[in-house]
Structure 1
Amino acid sequence: MAKQKMTRAEKSWIMYDVGNSALVLLATSVIPIYFSSLAPDGGVVVAWSYAETVASLIIALLMPILGSIADMKGMKKKFIVGCVGTGVVATVALGIPTSAMAFLVIYVISSVALNSSMVFYDALLVDATTDDRMDEISSQGYAWGYIGSCVPFIACLLVVLNYDALGIGLQTAMQIAFVITAAWWLAFTIPMLRDVQQKHFKPREEHAVSRAIKGIGGTLKEMWANKAIKFYMIAYFFYIDGVHTIIKLSTSYGTDLGISSTQLVLALLVTQFVAFPSAIIYGRLSSKYGTRRMLLIAIAAYFGITLFAALFLRTATEFWILAILVGMFQGGIQALSRSEFGKLCPKKRANEYFGFFDIFGKYAAILGTFLVGTFTALTGNSSLGVMSIAVLFVIGFVMMLKVPAREEAAE
């Protein structure tokens, strides 16, 4: 059977992943290193962990309410416009502060805007494609996001790593990097806003906010009554929380171990290149071996990655090995998690359900960052903090085994 070509809507939906991934990559590599220069007294891992936790808590509180409203006709893209607009301005503003606290405040705003936009973007997957193509399109989104984000990232690196040769200061170099990243994000948002139409929606309601707040409890009861969604959400909460904790804190952990900033950034760039083909391959393997089975393999792999980081990671070479291992599974586990939930949730209430989906882990890495920050603060050993993440993957693996097949859940 000939491979089906992607539609214009599918391609444009994928383009948004290319756009927002530029800030995601910068936030997991260069930004923590720059923040360490603003916080010379130390405590980088702890401060960064708690900043990420605050951002995640804000998203967790907002998304169920905003998601319910966004499910109404024509609202998804309006919310995306608001989030992207706020995020772009905040990203540019990151170059202004000279104190650590002011920088963290603006970073939290940009992080909330970015990750909130991703909730609405994820929910648009059900409008951009069909159930039988969700694994493929979701995987393509992550894949092209990884490789596409390298273009502005390399441009930023050239400026940041050569600021002396360019005759500018580090802050000016970072200001240029933030402008490049914000412009890239904005440019690749336009195709999705133009070509992807909201096909699934609820009728508009009066007093939408109050109704959304009152309806949160009912939605939770519905989700809990659905065995497939219940166990899937519990599994997802734990394993993806661990995944995003590793993504968010890998650079600050490497800095704490004394690995040079250049080695850290270049290794994370390798992660992007490895993740590009890996995400596509993972999506195609899911059609042969099943989405759930591929998710279980990825969860087990991340458990091993966590142990490697905590027990053996001490040098730049070992950080490069870690970066390659993460790249092999990062895109696959994210893409298939998103598409699998898109198949399970009711299409007309996709935003509402994806709002809870993101609370249960995707961009609300509350537990993992809190565990790392707390254990590191209590023991003074960041390796023990990283070790605490392993339990998240164990619980996630066990809970995923309890998720019934979609055919069984339908019955």
Structure 2
Amino acid sequence: MKYTNLERNWVMYDVGNSALVLLNTSVVPIYFDAINTAANSAELVTAWANAQTVASLVVALLMPILGSLADFAGNKIKFFLGFFLTGLVLCLAQAIPMGAMPFLVVYVLCTIGLNSSMTFYDAMLPDVTTDERMDSVSSSGYAWGYVGSCVPFIVCIALIMLGPSMLGLDMMFATRMSFIITGVWWLLFTIPLLRTYKQRYAKELAPGETMASTVANTFRGLVATMRRIARDKALLIFMIAFFFYIDGVHTVISMATTYGTSLGIDSTQLILALLVTQFVAFPSAIAYGRLAGRFGTLRMIIIAVAAYVAIVLFAAFFLKEAFEFWILAILVGMFQGGIQALSRSYFGKLIPKEHANEYYGFFDIFGRYASVMGTLLVSVVTSLTGDPSLGVLSIGVLLVVGFVMLAKLSRMRGIA
């Protein structure tokens, strides 16, 4: 499929932000472990899960309110830019030498900026393409994000692994430089979208209404939106299902490296395995977009959720050595991009376009609160049992609930 200039620039932002997402799920937990030498394996998993929980909770609280304001003409790009710049500055700030807790605070704030910008980015999808092209464009965003993010990641890994021996660099210094490299990459692939994006669908201010009065009316508008969602049975069931199943996806992504570290798997093996995930995810996400056109978006989401149930069971019962982690990385790569991309596009088809940001704010609150629940569940179970494997296993319950709700939606819409 040939993309328009705006569709291509929208996809390019995924190439930019995915570099930071990849760094956050691979290098950052290992770096945090290195500067937090006092913690044992269970404490490490708990601290990292708590950080993810806080970041997700803040975004979940902010997005419905800010999303409602962003739906007014010209506001979406302003909110997007504000959070992007916040995340970028704090990404670069992580290169400053600091202790474990100050670093964790900066990381959480950076993650808030990143994830908030991605909410507004998701809400741009109805503006940049049509319903018929939405699955393919959304899947391409994730696909090119996976493969494109590997470019700065490989540079960073080469600097970390080879810098000490070939360039005489301290490994910790080389790791901190990875934040600079990733931040610059993120910036370069954001500029085209900032230059070309135009908000097609927007709410207009009522006669005599100002933005100040609009802020006061925002909460009433959110209540009205919740009522509209509650009346739309298909949308409501999908959002409840999404709340549960995306928890497994986000938690597996955010906790994989930390979990592997707690099992004593070598950091080099962890990083290389996650790099393989990116390469596997590229063709898999593209394939998922095409398969959705042939077999239906909802059916392909259900298949991916079932696959994630199997992935969690594998991680909990069989993941002990580096070889098993490589298997896990390949399995995640096969389904990760597809389930995220099709969830985003399927939701975009169900909602009114002029309220896209407001609805995507609720989409995000469901996704982020699910992340809060998932990481918190891992943290609590791991703390109580001292066994990270049981914490991972607990995620399976949420995935099964999501699968059951999707099956109900499928029957309701007459999909075999």
The reply to whether TM is greater than 0.5 is: yes
Shift of 1:406: 9.6
Match in the other structure for 1:345:
351
Match in the other structure for 1:44:
44
Match in the other structure for 1:57:
57
- Give yes or no for the alignment of 1:214 onto 2:211: no
Aligned counterparts of 2:278 and 2:2: Cα–Cα separation in 1: 25
Aligned counterparts of 1:405 and 1:70: Cα–Cα separation in 2: 35
Match in the other structure for 2:13:
16
Select the residue among 328, 336, 340 that pairs with 1:330. 336
For the Cα contact (< 8 Å) 2:316–2:392, is it kept in 1? yes
Structure 1 unaligned spans of 5+: none
Shift of 1:404: 5.8
Q: How many residues align?
A: 406
Equivalent residue of 2:164, what SS?
coil
For the Cα contact (< 8 Å) 1:264–1:316, is it kept in 2? yes
One-letter amino acid of the structure 2 residue matched with residue 29 of structure 1: S
Match in the other structure for 2:84:
84
Match in the other structure for 1:172:
173
One-letter amino acid of the structure 2 residue matched with residue 225 of structure 1: R
Q: Percent of pairs identical after alignment?
A: 59
- Give yes or no for the alignment of 1:155 onto 2:137: no
Aligned counterparts of 1:169 and 1:267: Cα–Cα separation in 2: 24
Shift of 1:163: 3.4
Shift of 1:208: 2.5
Q: What do the CA deviations read for 1:57-91 (whole angstroms, capped 9, x no partner)?
A: 10011000100011010111111111111111000
For residues 94-173 of structure 1, the aligned pairs below 5 Å read 94-165=94-165, 166-173=167-174
Aligned counterparts of 2:248 and 2:122: Cα–Cα separation in 1: 20
Could you tell me the TM-score, scaled by structure 1's length? 0.96
Shift of 1:364: 5.4
Residues 215 and 173 (structure 1 numbering): CA distance in 2 closer, same or farther, change over 3 Å? same
Select the residue among 3, 7, 18 that pairs with 1:6. 3
For the Cα contact (< 8 Å) 2:298–2:410, is it kept in 1? no
Could you tell me the TM-score, scaled by structure 2's length? 0.95
Match in the other structure for 1:200:
201
Shift of 1:363: 7.9
Aligned counterparts of 2:311 and 2:410: Cα–Cα separation in 1: 27
For the Cα contact (< 8 Å) 2:57–2:368, is it kept in 1? no
Match in the other structure for 1:187:
188
Select the residue among 264, 280, 286 that pairs with 2:286. 280
One-letter amino acid of the structure 1 residue matched with residue 163 of structure 2: Y
RMSD: 1.5
Aligned counterparts of 2:369 and 2:183: Cα–Cα separation in 1: 20
For the Cα contact (< 8 Å) 2:246–2:370, is it kept in 1? no
Match in the other structure for 1:384:
390
Equivalent residue of 1:241, what SS?
helix
Aligned counterparts of 1:131 and 1:405: Cα–Cα separation in 2: 23
Equivalent residue of 1:149, what SS?
helix
Q: What do the CA deviations read for 1:144-168 (whole angstroms, capped 9, x no partner)?
A: 0000000000011111122322222
Select the residue among 20, 26, 29 that pairs with 1:29. 26
Match in the other structure for 1:371:
377
